[in-house]
Amino acid sequence: MSLPAKALVQAAANSGLRAVSVRHSSQAPKVALLGAAGGIGQPLGLLLKQDPLVAHLALYDVVNTPGVAADLSHIDSNAKVTAHTGPKELYAAVENADVIVIPAGVPRKPGMTRDDLFNTNAGIVRDLAAVIAKASPKALIAIITNPVNSTVPIASEVLKKAGVYDPKRVFGVTTLDVVRSQAFVAELKGHDASKTVVPVVGGHAGITIIPLLSQVTPSTKFSEEEIAKLTPRIQDAGTEVVNAKAGAGSATLSMALAGARFANALVRGIKGQKNVQCAYVASDAVKGVEYFSTPVELGPNGVEKILGVGKVSAFEQKLIDASVPELNKNIAKGVAFVKGN
């Protein structure tokens, strides 16, 4: 999926399809999954097929999409499944989509950081965004492809170039950090994991991942030692999985669950069921940085309200302050990639 953006757009144009600026009715949401045959894409497709709110699940990848689609189409849920393979079929996959979820890209291997994935994955996100700008400019775009701190600005810059950018509609999916935090806190404190809520702010890599342990629900007290151990474990949890898989991939199953949970939240918002999720978006919640993850209220137009970081501890404030220069470096790298290509 690293063909030049112009080639992708031209392929779409050659297919005779035209750009539109409307989405499907909220009564029949279409979700497009880009990277559907990959390690995250396949289990994510399974979970989306089971979501009763999804009316049409459009699967896209450069190879193997028909087999994944055939497999999922045998599941007895109401979502219609369509397969779209290669650049010429990308336009149809995303046309009129309400939600577009993007896990496309290469996974991390042992010794790699998310930033090491930059060159390959940056090109993929740029090229996909170029077609989305033409085929479905009103879609809510949920980006999983790493490094999220940079790929969200990349998609935003492409949409800006096309004149269709809406900051309320572009999301970096940080739900996995929330899911992990909730699992780890519940395990440590003996809570019911399904009723444990941990906001995570900042970004989606290393020190930019900031779990707000002072805001855990139900109200939970941590010792300084517990915070000192739990915070870096949450920040490095992705590496924990990469190392455990010993070269066989990165976090795919937990990421699929997190992606499906966030996609469901976006669809619920489209249908008027406002809800709050943490997400990495264009935000003024923290001074000195253009994108930041905080709890946001989702609704029919995407981000309805940015709720900010709330009251944080002195330890958490230090983490937030330290994350800003790192995030700015990641953001600048993404912006420069688009402007230089």
Which amino acids are annotated as binding site, given as ranges? Answer: 35-41, 61, 108, 114, 121, 144-146, 180, 255
Question: What are 176-183's contacts with CB under 8 Å, separation 24+?
Answer: 176/204, 176/238, 176/251, 176/254, 176/255, 176/258, 177/204, 177/209, 177/211, 177/234, 177/237, 177/278, 178/258, 178/278, 179/254, 179/257, 179/258, 179/261, 180/234, 180/237, 180/254, 181/211, 181/234
Task: Name the active-site residue from 74, 84, 191, 204.
Answer: 204
- Decide: 183 and 198 in contact? Cβ < 8 Å: no
The DSSP element (H or E) to which 158 belongs, if any, is: helix 148-162
Structure tokens at 300: 């029919």
- Decide: 280 and 204 in contact? Cβ < 8 Å: yes
Closest by CA to 318, choosing from 215, 207, 204, is 207
Asked if omega into 4 is within 30° of 0 (cis), the reply is: no
Let me know if 24 is a catalytic residue. no
First to last CA, the chain: 16
User: Binding-site residues for substrate, please?
Assistant: 108, 114, 146, 180
Q: Give the number of other Cβ atoms within 10 Å of residue 166's Cβ.
A: 17
Structure tokens at 189: 């404190």
User: Binding-site residues for NAD(+), please?
Assistant: 35-41, 61, 121, 144-146, 255
Residues tagged active-site: 204
